[in-house]
Chains A and B, each alone.
Chain A
Amino acid sequence: MHPGSARLTFGEFDAMLDSLAPTHRLFAPVLIGGGGRFSGTDVVRYGEIRSARQIEFRRKSDFSPKEVLFPITQTLLCFSDNECMEPAGDDRGILLFLRACDINGIGRLDEILLQNGPVADAYYERLRRKVKLVLMECPEPFENCFCVSMGANVADDYAMAVRFEGDRVLTRVRDETLAAALPPSAPATEFSPLFAETDGSPVRLPDSETLQQAIEEGRFFDHQMWKEYASRCHACGRCNAVCPTCSCFTTFDIEYEENPRLGERRRVWASCHADRFTDMAGGHSLRNDHGSRMRFKVLHKIHDHKMRFGRHMCVGCGRCDDQCPEYISFSACINKVCAALEQSPAAVLA
């Protein structure tokens, strides 16, 4: 069978997933009842699925798909005395269901983890190579979405696109393996995924040159807005945890208590908002006030990454706004940065 579009019942779609399951792990946003922060609330995050019915496609996932290919915790190697070994990975491929903003988020992870230096991150690359992306059509913005403003509302880099429509799944398949798994009974149809064209919370982006100039002149770091965030942000790091593009991690060795000659090297996500992110040998650390952590993150998302890779890091998924327990809005902050740059230098320092 050649790649094309088909209209499947949920049963046919599940038959397709079944035929892929021996060679692929299937990850999608799933609703975890009672898994929310507050009792009696749910959470939507990425988990392994076996059926289309398990996919939560109505709600935006609280956590991003990055945790599938950039796990929160990874054991890089295990050691004993003078020997070490790398844990055997899972050989199967990965089918990852996600929205356009998150596909663009993975593009940003690729830039940072594969192209940001002479050596690609082998642990990321190993998982990344296994992934086939399945675009979940997302034509309507959620409340805090601003992917259109960020230019991340459209994604073309997918192996399959799906639309959940009543009791049918429309699929557009571009991948030979997936095409071969399509049930032959499924009627062909025309299907091109739609993309959001408006934002729930639109933002204006600052002019990069003006912002760079303000940074170099030193006036931007001292702006009053960061002092205000210093009193609002509690440095919980939730914004980093849910962000599809935050990619900082820390690596350390663990010696097992029962036998200190055995241990493992572990890498774990790090958060630029949380304490100890900038700790250095000798006990020195930077950005101790939470406002400067906010500034650091915001500039990375809407300035520094673009200076290096030509496009913004933030993809406008709005999860940080959804999750911040102190109601700090990242999109509002972008607009504040814009407004500040349009003021006179004197006003910027006010």
Chain B
Amino acid sequence: MPLDLNAGEIRRNAYRITSRRDRTCLRVRVPGGCLAARHLEVIRAIAEDYGDGTVHLTTRQGFEIPGIAFEKIPSVNRALAALIEDVEIAIGVELGAPENGYPAAGTRNVVACIGNRVCPFANLDTTALAMRIERSVFPNDHHLKIAVTGCPNDCIKAHLQDFGVIGQADIRFDAQRCLGCEACVKYCSRHVNGSISMRNGRPVRDERHCLGCGGCVLKCPTGARTRDPVKYFRLIILGRTGKRNPRLGATFLEWAPEDAVVQIILNTYKFIERHIDRALPKEHLGYIVDRTGYQTFRETVLDGVQLGDKTRVAETLHFAGYTYS
């Protein structure tokens, strides 16, 4: 019997068309990259009962389970329901009946570095923010890659996403607690961008250049430096790999509040709806903006967004990329 399938619907259900004509591959999302260990049992069971017994760990913190016969898709979706219930529905994602599997696959899993649950450098719980973004954007079939990272060290590689959200900390300084030991100065000049210099026995931070990494807070032996409780974000946009023009993303916003970041990502779906080239099977956001120009993009996505007093918006974008020739 020849297979007669709606490949588009299969893809939207988060199953891949693979190099084996009679087999598909399930993509499991793990928003924020954090999963209760018990769900590994669900993944193991699907791989062994329906797949080829292997699991591929993806760069987007998901699992791909290959070797699944197309006709087993309904059974696999039922086996997956418990995981979807806990990982998506429990965090507020509205995606219908979990027994039907994922209703969309275009907007990729929202990834996060391990964040302050583990990492001393992180300025926030990145998984919690990734889950908030997942709740806001999923299910959505427009192709968008989003990542959250806890500090400008960018371990999640936010520079290679459509939206790379980088946690920033505004630094408070209690001069009376300062020893003038220069630990913060040394750290910033050796590991960051030299935003702190000594003046009259005390360190002075150049707020204009400070990345908000929070490294000086870690290094201060007396707690003279602390993080402002308000979370801020650098928003890197339109980074990509790909065959045409790979490039690192560029800074769109600095010191943006969390709500603004989420609203901008939501507005981007409206921008895509308005400007995507529907003649193509899919078009990445970066190429759409290459056609419309940054100013059009900026105007659309900032519409109705409350930026903070500290927020800086890029006038132009400068990409460090190249074209294969």
Chain A residues proximal to chain B, CB less than 8 Å: 32-35, 37-40, 43, 45, 62-63, 71-73, 236-238, 240-241, 252, 254-257, 266, 268-271, 274-275
How long is the Cα–Cα vector from A275 to B182 in the complex, in angstroms? 9
A236 touches B214 (CB 8 A): no
User: Within 8 Å CB of A252, what residues of B?
Assistant: 201
How long is the Cα–Cα vector from A73 to B120 in the complex, in angstroms? 28
In this complex, the member of A34, A40, A71 whose beta carbon has the largest number of chain B beta carbons within 10 angstroms is A40
User: Within 8 Å CB of A71, what residues of B?
Assistant: 176
User: Within 8 Å CB of A37, what residues of B?
Assistant: 120, 217-218, 220, 223
> Chain A's nearest CB lies how many Å from the CB of B229?
5
B181 touches A34 (CB 8 A): no
User: Within 8 Å CB of B169, what residues of A?
Assistant: 39
Can you offer 24 A-B residue contacts whose CB atoms are under 8 A?
Answer: A37-B120, A38-B116, A39-B150, A39-B167, A40-B116, A45-B223, A62-B223, A63-B222, A63-B223, A72-B177, A72-B179, A73-B176, A236-B219, A236-B221, A237-B179, A237-B181, A252-B201, A254-B201, A256-B200, A257-B199, A268-B178, A268-B201, A271-B221, A274-B181
A266 touches B217 (CB 8 A): no
A268 touches B200 (CB 8 A): no
Tell me whether A39 and B181 are in contact in the complex, defined as CB-CB below 8 angstroms, given that A72-B176, A236-B221 are known contacts.
no
User: Within 8 Å CB of B182, what residues of A?
Assistant: 275
A39 touches B122 (CB 8 A): yes
How long is the Cα–Cα vector from A274 to B169 in the complex, in angstroms? 26
Listed from nearest, the 6 A-B pairs whose CB atoms lie closest are: A238-B221, A241-B221, A39-B116, A237-B221, A254-B200, A241-B222
- Asked if B180 is at the interface of the complex by the 8 Å CB criterion, the answer is yes
User: Within 8 Å CB of B289, what residues of A?
Assistant: none
Q: Which residue of B lies closest to A45 (CB)?
A: B223
In this complex, the member of A39, A45, A268, A269 whose beta carbon has the largest number of chain B beta carbons within 10 angstroms is A39
Tell me whether A34 and B177 are in contact in the complex, defined as CB-CB below 8 angstroms, given that A39-B169, A237-B221 are known contacts.
no
B178 touches A72 (CB 8 A): yes
Tell me whether A34 and B226 are in contact in the complex, defined as CB-CB below 8 angstroms, given that A39-B122, A237-B221 are known contacts.
yes
Tell me whether A43 and B223 are in contact in the complex, defined as CB-CB below 8 angstroms, given that A37-B120, A38-B120, A252-B201 are known contacts.
yes
How long is the Cα–Cα vector from A40 to B169 in the complex, in angstroms? 11
Task: Name A266's contact: one of B124, B199, B201, B221 (CB within 8 Å).
Answer: B201
> Chain A's nearest CB lies how many Å from the CB of B130?
16
User: Within 8 Å CB of B167, what residues of A?
Assistant: 39
How long is the Cα–Cα vector from A275 to B124 in the complex, in angstroms? 32
Chain B residues proximal to chain A, CB less than 8 Å: 116, 120, 122-125, 150, 167, 169, 175-183, 199-201, 214, 217-224, 226-227, 229
Task: Name B123's contact: one of A39, A255, A271 (CB within 8 Å).
Answer: A39
User: Within 8 Å CB of A256, what residues of B?
Assistant: 200
In this complex, the member of B200, B224, B229 whose beta carbon has the largest number of chain A beta carbons within 10 angstroms is B200
User: Within 8 Å CB of B223, what residues of A?
Assistant: 35, 37, 43, 45, 62-63
B116 touches A268 (CB 8 A): no
How long is the Cα–Cα vector from A255 to B222 in the complex, in angstroms? 24
Q: Do most interface residues of chain A lie in helix, strand or loop, or is the interface mixed?
A: loop
How long is the Cα–Cα vector from A129 to B289 in the complex, in angstroms? 70
Q: Do most interface residues of chain B lie in helix, strand or loop, or is the interface mixed?
A: loop
> Chain A's nearest CB lies how many Å from the CB of B173?
12
User: Within 8 Å CB of B150, what residues of A?
Assistant: 39
A257 touches B200 (CB 8 A): yes
User: Within 8 Å CB of B178, what residues of A?
Assistant: 72-73, 268
How long is the Cα–Cα vector from A236 to B250 in the complex, in angstroms? 35
User: Within 8 Å CB of B218, what residues of A?
Assistant: 37-38
> Chain B's nearest CB lies how many Å from the CB of A297?
14
Q: Which residue of B lies closest to A72 (CB)?
A: B177
> Chain A's nearest CB lies how many Å from the CB of B121?
8
> Chain B's nearest CB lies how many Å from the CB of A240?
8
> Chain B's nearest CB lies how many Å from the CB of A89?
15
How long is the Cα–Cα vector from A214 to B165 in the complex, in angstroms? 58
User: Within 8 Å CB of A274, what residues of B?
Assistant: 179, 181, 183, 221
User: Within 8 Å CB of A257, what residues of B?
Assistant: 199-200
User: Within 8 Å CB of A72, what residues of B?
Assistant: 176-179, 222, 224
User: Within 8 Å CB of A241, what residues of B?
Assistant: 179, 221-222
A268 touches B123 (CB 8 A): no
Q: Which residue of B lies closest to A236 (CB)?
A: B221
User: Within 8 Å CB of A63, what residues of B?
Assistant: 222-223
- Given A238-B221, A257-B199, 7 more A-B residue pairs with CB atoms under 8 Å apart are A34-B226, A38-B218, A40-B125, A237-B179, A240-B221, A241-B179, A254-B200
A269 touches B226 (CB 8 A): no
How long is the Cα–Cα vector from A149 to B41 in the complex, in angstroms? 50
Q: Which residue of B lies closest to A75 (CB)?
A: B176
A271 touches B181 (CB 8 A): yes
> Chain A's nearest CB lies how many Å from the CB of B178?
7
User: Within 8 Å CB of B123, what residues of A?
Assistant: 39
How long is the Cα–Cα vector from A241 to B220 in the complex, in angstroms? 10
Task: Name B227's contact: one of A34, A62, A73 (CB within 8 Å).
Answer: A34
User: Within 8 Å CB of A38, what residues of B?
Assistant: 116, 120, 218
> Chain B's nearest CB lies how many Å from the CB of A344?
38
How long is the Cα–Cα vector from A43 to B222 in the complex, in angstroms? 11
In this complex, the member of A71, A73, A236 whose beta carbon has the largest number of chain B beta carbons within 10 angstroms is A73
Q: Which residue of A lies closest to B220 (CB)?
A: A37
A269 touches B125 (CB 8 A): no
Q: Which residue of B lies closest to A37 (CB)?
A: B218
In this complex, the member of B116, B219, B222, B226 whose beta carbon has the largest number of chain A beta carbons within 10 angstroms is B222
Q: Which residue of B lies closest to A256 (CB)?
A: B200
User: Within 8 Å CB of A266, what residues of B?
Assistant: 201
How long is the Cα–Cα vector from A255 to B175 in the complex, in angstroms? 16
> Chain B's nearest CB lies how many Å from the CB of A243?
11
Tell me whether A39 and B227 are in contact in the complex, defined as CB-CB below 8 angstroms, given that A73-B176, A73-B178, A254-B201 are known contacts.
yes
Q: Which residue of A lies closest to B182 (CB)?
A: A275
How long is the Cα–Cα vector from A260 to B182 in the complex, in angstroms? 23
B180 touches A268 (CB 8 A): yes
How long is the Cα–Cα vector from A345 to B243 in the complex, in angstroms? 70
